[in-house]
């Protein structure tokens, strides 16, 4: 009997690996500690509508990912977003249009990973704490004391700090993952009763606690919501204010937003803050995947490549490719 392959993490890297393996005829079982798929590429349903609090949009430059995104477009999962882009520098806000194609999930980022999940076997709300390597195969232990397995291989598709803990059976891989620093991002969503008087729909920011802001409601499929905005703080500001209360984060980033807009923005009718502890790798790497093929253990994710959606997808794809190649 062929055993299934365990995949830890239902973000875009884990689901990329899962789909490539499924297409090659392998059974997979995905585990995620969250209640749904997507990880940092998920969207949140709120009283103000669907909000993308993590990944805002993505670009596709590698031919393999371009082909994949075209398939997602045919499936109706993604749509091109063409925001009125601005740049904020030296206290000046200036339009900054460009020719770059930017994709978003519609009606939210979660549409993509939900689509990729399809009918694959998944256990949500299941945090894996230990991997046990038996004679020939693997067992997974979860935080509730449950045991899962046997599996022929394990693919860990979590941020590097969470992968390190699970890589104990492969000390070399564990020490490589332990060397990856991942930086936090505070995200704030605001909704205003009447639309702010600006054509701006996205802005790259320099010289502010903010790094990026987006008019969430300008993305395709979110037009039935009030004037919603998502603000991202810089890594530096997020690190300095890691333990600030959510209320204080909202107040400070709303203040930075008002300063940047050069007009006092009204009090929001809705606000929320979310802290991404492991938002982005401090540096890009070119590993593709970390693998101990003889042991049947692989680690992938954005931190193995570019720290973007595209890098995460390519890393998961590479994990599956290496696993299949080793079996042949």
- Residues within the annotated binding site for FAD? 13, 32-33, 40, 56-57, 128, 302, 309
Residue 96 in the binding site for ligand NAI (CB under 6 A): yes
Position 232 contacts ligand NAI (CB under 6 A): yes
* Known binding-site residue numbers: 13, 32-33, 40, 56-61, 96-98, 128, 185, 302, 308-309
Q: What is the 3-state secondary structure (H, E, C) of the chain?
A: CCCCEEEECCCHHHHHHHHHHHHCCCCEEEECCCCCCCHHHCEEEECCEEEECCCCCECCCCHHHHHHHHHHHHHCCEEECCCCEEEEECCEEEECCCCCCCEEECCCCHHHHHHHHCCCEEECCCCEEEEEECCCCEEEEECCCCEEEEECEEEECCCHHHHHHHCCCCHHHHHHHHCCCEEEEEEEEEEECCCCCCCCCEEEECCCCEEEEEEHHHCCCCCCCCEEEEEEECHHHHHHCCCCCHHHHHHHHHHHHHHHHCCCCCCCCEEEEEEEEEEEECCCCCCCCEEECCCCEEECCHHHCCCCHHHHHHHHHHHHHHHHHHHC
Find the shortest distance in angstroms from Cβ 246 to ligand NAI.
17
Tokens representing residue 296 in the block: 């049947």
- In the complex, the smallest distance separating the C-beta of residue 11 from ligand FAD, rounded to whole angstroms, is 2
Tell me how far apart the alpha carbons of residues 140 and 192 are, in angstroms, rounded to a whole number. 46
Q: Which residues, 6+ apart, have CB-to-CB distance to 79 below 8 Å?
A: 73, 103, 104, 106, 220, 221
Total number of residues binding ligand FAD (CB under 6 A)?
37
Nearest distance in Å: CB 147, ligand NAI: 35
Binding segment (CB under 6 A) for ligand FAD, from list 25-33, 76-84, 87-95, 189-197: 25-33
Minimum Å gap between C-beta 14 and ligand FAD is 6
87: contact with ligand NAI by CB under 6 A:
yes
CB of 6 to ligand FAD, least distance (A): 10
x/- map, 179-198, ligand NAI, by CB under 6 A = ------x-------------
| Interface stretch with ligand FAD, choices 20-28, 48-56, 174-182, 247-255 (CB under 6 A) | 48-56
Q: How far apart are CA 314 and CA 301, in angstroms?
A: 8
Could you tell me which residues come within 8 angstroms of residue 108 by beta carbon, excluding any fewer than 6 positions away?
43, 45, 50, 51, 52, 221, 222
Q: Which does 100 bind (CB under 5 to 8 A by kind): ligand FAD, ligand NAI, none?
A: ligand NAI
**Selected binder of ligand NAI within 20, 51, 177, 279 (CB under 6 A):** 279
Pair of tokens at residue 62: 């590698």
204: partner contacted, choices ligand FAD, ligand NAI, none (Cβ within 5-8 A by kind)? ligand NAI
To ligand FAD, the closest distance from the beta carbon of 171 in angstroms equals 19
Question: Which range touches ligand FAD (CB under 6 A), out of 37-45, 64-72, 86-94, 255-263?
Answer: 37-45
Site string for ligand FAD, 110-149 (x = CB under 6 A): -----------------xx---------------------
Shortest spacing between CB 37 and ligand FAD, in angstroms: 7
Binding residues (CB under 6 A) for ligand NAI: these are 58-59, 85, 87, 96, 98, 100, 185, 204, 211, 232, 279-280, 307-308
Which residues are near ligand FAD by CB under 6 A? 8-14, 31-34, 39-41, 54-58, 127-128, 157-159, 162, 185, 187, 232, 276, 279-280, 301-302, 307-309, 312
């Amino acid at each position: 009997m062929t055993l299934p392959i365990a995949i830890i993490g239902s973000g875009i890297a884990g689901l990329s690996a899962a789909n490539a393996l499924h297409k090659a005829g392998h059974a997979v079982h995905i585990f995620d500690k969250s209640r749904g798929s997507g990880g940092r590429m998920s969207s949140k349903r709120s009283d103000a509508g669907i909000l993308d609090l993590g990944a805002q949009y993505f670009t596709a430059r590698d031919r393999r990912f371009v082909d994949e995104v075209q398939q997602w477009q045919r499936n109706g999962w993604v749509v091109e977003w063409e925001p009125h882009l601005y740049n904020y520098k030296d206290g000046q806000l200036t339009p900054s249009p460009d020719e770059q194609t930017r994709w978003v999930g519609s009606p939210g980022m979660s549409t993509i990973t939900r689509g990729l999940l399809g009918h694959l076997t998944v256990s949500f709300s299941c945090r894996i704490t230990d991997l046990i390597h038996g004679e020939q195969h693997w067992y997974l232990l979860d935080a509730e004391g449950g045991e899962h397995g046997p599996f022929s291989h394990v693919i860990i598709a979590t941020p590097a700090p969470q992968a390190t803990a699970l890589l104990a059976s492969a000390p070399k891989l564990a020490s490589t993952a332990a060397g990856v620093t991942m930086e936090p991002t505070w995200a704030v969503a605001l909704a205003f009763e009447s639309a702010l008087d600006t054509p701006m729909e996205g802005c790259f920011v320099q010289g502010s606690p903010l790094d990026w802001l987006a008019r969430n409601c300008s993305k395709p499929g979110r037009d039935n919501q009030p004037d919603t905005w998502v603000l991202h703080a810089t890594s530096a500001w997020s690190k300095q204010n890691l333990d600030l209360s959510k209320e204080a984060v909202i107040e400070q980033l709303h203040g930075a937003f008002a300063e940047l807009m050069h007009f006092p923005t009204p009090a929001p009718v809705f606000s929320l803050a979310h802290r991404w502890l492991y938002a982005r790798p401090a540096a890009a790497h070119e590993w593709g995947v970390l693998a101990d093929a003889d042991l049947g253990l692989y680690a992938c994710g954005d931190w193995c490549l570019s720290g973007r959606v595209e890098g995460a997808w390519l890393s998961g794809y590479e994990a599956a490719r290496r696993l299949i190649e080793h079996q042949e």
